[in-house]
Amino acid sequence: MLDDLDLPTSISAPGTSVVIRRATPDDLQAIMQLLSDDPISAGRGDIANDDDRPAYAAALDRIIHDPGNELLVAVNRDDAVVGTLQLTVIPGMARRGSTRLLIEAVRVASTQRSSGIGSALMRWVIEQAAIDLEAPLVQLTSDAARDDAHRFYRRLGFVDSHVGFKFYVTLPASAAQ
């Protein structure tokens, strides 16, 4: 499935161009930094703390080895990570058996905001990746506090037709990640 995506690929934004490629374990520090470079993520504990590195490394390993998931990074010509997003292909019964493409964890480096990289990334997902993956339904949720992100997704043609609910489970200590 996601192995079929034709990557790496180059995408263009008005002022720049970046390459989208699959994340590798060598990207760990850059991805941790990108997560912490966002106030809402940082508020949830993603602060690029060295103590959390083993948990992030294990998660990256799980994503890389999961055939239904792909963590992608957008890199500039110096191979510096300037953006990331995760794709999950979800087979489903609804809508006459439509496959869904879920987008999670869209992040663009704060130094690159308004560069058009975010739009270029999302347009690649809806105009190329979804078609290659035969997924007619692309979906994502965005924190209700991210007003700018909501305008961004609406401009791209996304419809805010749903309410996103979360439930936080306290795992027993033996199962803590």
Q: Count residues contacting its own copies (CB under 8 A)? A: 71
- Kindly tell me the sign of the dihedral angle through the C-alpha atoms of 142, 147, 153, 159: positive
* Interface stretch with its own copies, choices 4-12, 74-82, 109-117, 164-172 (CB under 8 A): 164-172
Token reading at 56: 């992030």
Q: Is 90 in the site for its own copies (CB under 8 A)?
A: yes
Closest CB to its own copies among residues 15, 68: 68
- C-alpha span between 115 and 95 (Å, rounded): 36
Q: Which of 134, 148, 151, 155 binds its own copies (CB under 8 A)?
A: 134
Site residues for its own copies, 97-116, by CB under 8 A, read 97-100, 102, 104-105
- With a CB cutoff of 8 Å and minimum separation 6, the contacts of 92 are 98, 99, 100, 137
- C-alpha span between 81 and 75 (Å, rounded): 4
Side by side, the strands of the sheet bearing 9-13 are 9-13, 16-22, 69-75, 81-90, 100-108
Site residues for its own copies, 14-53, by CB under 8 A, read 31-32, 35, 41, 44-46, 52
Closest CB to its own copies among residues 33, 76: 33
Q: Which of 68, 113, 114, 148 binds its own copies (CB under 8 A)?
A: 68
Consecutive H or E run containing 33: helix 28-36
Closest CB to its own copies among residues 14, 43: 43
* Interface stretch with its own copies, choices 11-19, 60-68, 74-82, 109-117 (CB under 8 A): 60-68
Token reading at 73: 């990074």
